[in-house]
Amino acid sequence: MKLIKGVVPAILTPFDSNDNIYQKGIYDQIDYLADNNIESLFIGGSYGSFALMSVAERKQLFKWSLDKSNEYGMNSVIQIGATTTKETIELAKFAEDSGADIVASVVPYYYSGSILTEEDILKHFEALCNSVNIPVHCYNNPRTTGFNISPDFFSNLISVGLSGIKDGSGEVERLTKMLEVAKKENVDYIAGSTSLMFISVIGGADGCVSGVALVAPGLLIDFYKACSEKRVDDAMALQDKVLKVRNILQSRGPRAITCYDLFHEKGIDVGTCRLPWRRLEDEASNEIIKKMKEVDVL
């Protein structure tokens, strides 16, 4: 049985005023999402600013996030990708020991756009899959890694033990081929962006990792249900609102950073982000809050 279905918020990593990971911020965020009928989480991904943290800090994030999410019986995908195979495996084993359901990994970034070949990356994932006893997904994020997983390479990854993909590439023709591979091999296909939910879920994707779901979980759940039930007219109407919310989120800065302000406006203490990420100026934050109220998200 597939563990991950539906809407999967990509949670933020909260930091306190001393730039330490903020336990209360993690707990408050997960409490809020559980109260809004979220059943699965994507932890330690791009919204979670994983590339700004040490291995020890990432382990702390995993531990606290899993302690709280497991209280609710939520399913968890822990993003453990790193620049080296050694660190990736270390994080994967820690996540497994801490109670993760699935680990997901970006390709070994920085060199992924230059030195590393497909064979290098295949060997990396083979070693990762052989290191743990829980499912391993790849997290395809070509915009940040410089490497885009093709349908043929996806098949090769499955042959060495991969169980699924969080796919952040938005090319429609490629997406269709990726879904065909996932269905043929009976592995998970999770859309990696809210903007892809309609075409992906209508086409058979198991779910969608969504940052927008942090601030509008109910709206995203309704949208997913309409897509999965192939109520196309309802889904298209909901997509219009979802994309409007997404556009507001990114209108004055990166969506992940904007979410810190919107959580605080909702009364949820998620601390702050870590430099070089910078919070919005008050004027920009107030403008976004005003627009979100106009579309009934706040």
Q: What is the pLDDT of residues 199-250, one digit of tens each?
A: 999 999 999 999 999 999 999 999 999 999 999 999 999 999 999 999 999 9
In this prediction, residue 171 carries a pLDDT of: 79
Is 270 within the bounds of a domain? no
Is 149 within the bounds of a domain? yes
> pLDDT for 104-144, tens place per residue?
999 999 999 899 999 999 999 999 999 999 999 999 999 99
Instruction: Provide mean pLDDT across the span 67-78.
Output: 97
Whether residue 78 is predicted with pLDDT greater than 90 in this model: the reply is yes
Q: For residue 106, what are the CA distances in angstroms to 80, 121, 133, 148?
A: 8, 10, 19, 10
CATH number for the domain harbouring residue 120: 3.20.20.70
Maximum Cα–Cα distance across the chain: 51
Q: Where are the beta strands (DSSP E) in 46-108?
A: 75-79, 102-105
> pLDDT for 169-204, tens place per residue?
877 889 999 999 999 999 999 999 999 999 999 999
Radius of gyration of the chain (CA): 18
- Amino acid occupying residue 82: A
Please enumerate in sequence order all residues whose Cβ is within 8 A of that of 233, keeping only pairs 6 or more positions apart, or say none.
none
Is 244 within the bounds of a domain? no
| DSSP string across 128-183 | HHHH-SS-EEEEE-HHHHS----HHHHHHHHHTT--EEEE----HHHHHHHHHHHH
* Residue 155 confidence class, pLDDT cut points 50, 70, 90: very high
> pLDDT for 19-47, tens place per residue?
999 999 999 999 999 999 999 999 999 99
Is 208 within the bounds of a domain? yes
**15 burial via Cβ count (<10 Å: 0-12, 13-18, 19+):** buried
User: What average pLDDT does the structure give for the chain?
Assistant: 96
Whether residue 7 is predicted with pLDDT greater than 70 in this model: the reply is yes
Share of the chain above pLDDT 90, in %: 96
In this prediction, residue 106 carries a pLDDT of: 98
How many structural domains does the chain have? 1
Q: Give the range of the structural domain holding residue 208, as residue numbers without chain letter.
A: 6-231
* Residue 1 confidence class, pLDDT cut points 50, 70, 90: low
Asked whether the beta carbons of 7 and 216 are under 8 A apart, the reply is: no
3-state secondary structure of 260: helix
d(CA 214, CA 184): 32
Q: For residue 165, what are the CA distances in angstroms to 149, 150, 188?
A: 10, 12, 6
Is 284 within the bounds of a domain? no
Is 113 within the bounds of a domain? yes
Is 35 within the bounds of a domain? yes
